[in-house]
């Protein structure tokens, strides 16, 4: 299935929602420290409802540790200045869908990391800055899953 990678997420509710997303879709959620919360945070627990035990969640000390563990063949960095639309990508199981912090997105050095296959954007009105992190991940995961026939889903 697909792998979601949040690089230094800050808001517990977004990560809680991503835990729920991972459980419901069969995706894996990978988090790179430092995190802006701890796993005992009530907002994280509330957003994830009772899906915490059903999701595959891995926390990595550094992005390099994440690369080592994931050994990705393809990484799509979601960023407002991406060169491809998220619908232009032909997603494959095992792809890493990478997102940055809520406040600033992905740092330039991460956007241009040699592991990154392509920088990808979600369309939005030009006067607005960004879309919520959990919403962005949901859009990307569901598009990737749709392209792969919603493999494993109950229909």
Binding-site residues for S-adenosyl-L-methionine, in ranges, read 100, 122, 130
How is residue 33 annotated by DSSP? S
How far is the C-alpha of 19 from the C-alpha of 12, rounded, in Å? Answer: 10
How many angstroms separate the CA atoms of 92 and 145, rounded?
A: 9
CA dist 36 and 101 (Å) reads 9
Residue 87 to residues 48, 83, 121, 138, 143: CA-CA distances in angstroms?
27, 12, 9, 14, 7
Whether the ω angle into residue 34 lies within 30 degrees of 0, i.e. cis, is: yes
- Known binding residues are 100, 122, 130
- Could you please report the per-residue DSSP string of 74-88? -EEEE-TT-SEEGGG
Alpha-carbon distance 132 to 40, whole Å? Answer: 22
């Amino acid at each position: 299935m697909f792998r979601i990678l949040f690089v230094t997420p800050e808001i517990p509710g977004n990560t809680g929602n991503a835990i729920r997303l991972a459980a419901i879709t069969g995706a894996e959620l990978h988090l790179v420290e430092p995190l802006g919360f701890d796993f005992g945070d009530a907002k994280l627990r509330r957003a994830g409802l009772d899906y915490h035990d059903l999701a595959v969640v891995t926390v990595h000390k550094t992005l390099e540790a994440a690369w080592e563990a994931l050994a990705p063949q393809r990484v799509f960095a979601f960023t407002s200045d991406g060169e491809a639309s998220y619908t232009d990508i032909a997603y494959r199981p095992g792809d890493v869908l990478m997102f940055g912090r809520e406040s600033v997105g992905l740092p330039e050095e991460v956007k241009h990391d040699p592991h990154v296959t392509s920088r990808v954007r979600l369309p939005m009105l030009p006067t607005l800055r960004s879309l919520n992190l959990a919403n962005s991940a949901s859009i990307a995961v569901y598009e990737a899953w749709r392209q792969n026939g919603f493999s494993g889903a109950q229909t």
